Structure 1
Amino acid sequence: MRFLKNKLFILLAVTVAILIIMGLSVRKNSKVNSVSNVLTVVLSPFQEFINYIGDRVEGAADYLQNVEALNQENEALKLRISELEKEVKELSDYREKNKELKEALNIKDQFSDVEFLGANIIAKDIGNWFNIFTIDRGITDGITVDSAVITKDGLVGRVISSDLVSSKVITIIDEDSTVSARLSKTRDLVFVKGDLQLKNEGLCRLDNIFPDVDISVGDTIETSGLGGIYPKGIIIGKVKEVRRKSSDLNRYAIIEPAVDFKRLEEVFVLESKDNFDKVGEDNR
């Protein structure tokens, strides 16, 4: 400890002496100039060493500043990459939705008097199948009870209740659902009903099959337009099986819906344009 104090004292004394000599040497014709010149020669290696250390310290400081700048730039690039990945996903989702909308618009050409309102499913009843669920559209969006609900694939069901910002939908596989339908190939009228047992398989039942009706596996079933709820021509599904109880008078068929009721996420609600325009005026 004493050694360090002595070293520090000597260094301080030398520094003071140098400063005094430099002050005196400023004066013209000073005798100290010669002494100063000698000291300059003697202390030159020491000064070079100090300059070298200073340059090193300055270089280290610049390096640390550059490293900090690179780290900040790296974090900014990571954030931008994350934003770009999000944008790419959103664009991909948009293209997929746009494709669905284009397919839906092909249906829309058949129904010029209705408005298509896209909706997201936000809740469903307990179970594996979407037989009753809630969407994020309500009265303020123009949704009314008994409005038909579809996807690009076909008929989903109808609205059974609505509040300001959401609505509840019952699907065609629910046991409380009945749809007036027809066979696409023969135009014969039938009824599509939900069934308590069949809904656990995502299927529904076709009733009112008269003896003279030509029906077979693979036939397409669509809405008839009767009853005032479902517009005519919406695909319901295909005949999976034709069953008989005791005679042809008791025939019924099992229908496999066109819609996958296990993977529903988004739907379209069909609303009358007159009703939709009225709601738009009220909102304004």
Structure 2
Amino acid sequence: MLFKFLGSKKLIVLMLAFIFFIALMGFTSARMYKLSWPEKFLKDTVSFTQSMFYKPAGSIAGFFGEIRNLRVIYEENKSLKITVAQYARDRVKLNYLEEENERLKSKVNFTERQKNANKYTFRYAEATAQSPDPYNHTITVNLGEKDGIVPNMAVMSELGLVGRIVSTSAFYSNVQLISDLDAKESAAKAIAATTMSNGKLTKSFGMIESYDTKTGMLQMTKIPPNDPLKKGDTVITSGLGGVYPRGIIIGTVMKVEVGEFGITHVAEIKPAADLKQLQDVFIVEVPKP
């Protein structure tokens, strides 16, 4: 009987221990979701303190992040500026090369058209200087005695007559422009000229002896009264006089009128060549007889 009681007592103790364990687990589990007021106070204090440090830290981190982004943008902007500058430079260089290419093409086409015209040799030269004296219309070209250049050789551009060689050095020559012609100067060489009308030679004749600086026109004189010369005709060198070879374009007739004494006519000729913007010229070399 006693042993039965002791066995029942152990069973009761075991059951009570089990119930206490279950209650303890429930109490602990409930505390995970429901805090006591000391725990609540401690948690609020810690969370507030953390927030005080977290926000400035986040702001500082964001600030340095913005600085890094700004630096990246600055470097990208700098690189883009360099690229744009290089593009602009290359574009200018390309434009210059395209312009030079077109200019040289026109020179090649010109020489191909002219090389068989009168069996002349055209020596290409570059204008290196222009006289600053408004009363001395001359330019300097980079061919001289070493290149076989001699005084009184005619000089022209691809558009028309420019002038003649007046002096030479070893490597350079001075060119007197047709805008420097003056009938009062004995050293000036008048240009014997004829004309073309509708692509055909005419029987016109005259002498170009001077240039009017006010109008920019050449003055053609000694034109016979019955001469067929008229406005719009193309004036070319006749080859007479031994200085300017035959067939070089001089300009276009702009006006024809009676001369000062009523015996001959005079004409205003607009030069074909741009005498103020000379870069490239041809020196005309006439074959020796």
Matches within 5 A, 1:250-261: 250-259=263-272
Q: Kindly provide the amino acid, as one letter, of the partner of residue 153 in structure 1.
A: L
Q: Please state if 1:191 is matched with 2:207.
A: yes
2:167 equivalent in structure 1: 161
Between the aligned partners of 1:79 and 1:164, the Cα distance in structure 2 is: 43
1:120 aligns with 2:127: yes
Gaps of 5+ in 2: 1-45, 183-187
Match in the other structure for 1:26:
none
Q: CA deviation at 1:256?
A: 1.1
Q: Residue deviations 1:40-77, cap 9 Å, x none?
A: xx899599779857854663453243133213212212
> Does the residue aligned with 2:159 lie in a helix, a strand or coil?
coil
Equivalent-residue separation in structure 1 for 2:109 and 2:268 (angstroms) = 23
| Alpha-carbon shift at residue 119 of structure 1 (Å) | 2.0
- The answer to whether the 8 Å contact 1:121/1:264 transfers is no
Match of 1:226 in 2: 240
Relative distance call for 1:178 and 1:245 in structure 2 (3 A) is: same
**Which position in structure 2 is the counterpart of 1:31?**
none
- Which residue number corresponds to residue 89 of structure 2? 83
Match of 2:257 in 1: 242
- Partner residue, 2:193: 181
Opposite residue 68 of structure 2, the aligned amino acid is D
Report Cα offsets for 1:149-206 as digits up to 9, x if no partner: 21222111112123345432222232123112223333454322125xx343222233
Quote the offset at 1:251 in angstroms.
Answer: 0.5
Matched positions, count: 230
Over the aligned positions, Cα root-mean-square deviation in angstroms equals 3.8
The amino acid across from 1:234 in the alignment is I
Partner of 1:21: none
2:139 paired with 1:134 = yes
The percentage of aligned residue pairs carrying the same residue is 19
Distance in 2 (alpha carbons) for counterparts of 1:96 and 1:235: 22
Residue 279 of structure 2 is matched in structure 1 by: 266
Q: TM-score, normalised by structure 1?
A: 0.63
| Counterpart in the other structure of 2:114 | 107
Are the equivalent residues in 1 in contact too, given 2:160–2:273 (CA < 8 A)?
no
**Does the 8 Å CA contact 1:103/1:152 hold for their aligned counterparts?**
no
- Which amino acid in structure 1 is aligned with residue 175 of structure 2? V
How far apart, in 2, do the equivalents of 1:54 and 1:78 lie? 36
Q: TM-score, normalised by structure 2?
A: 0.62
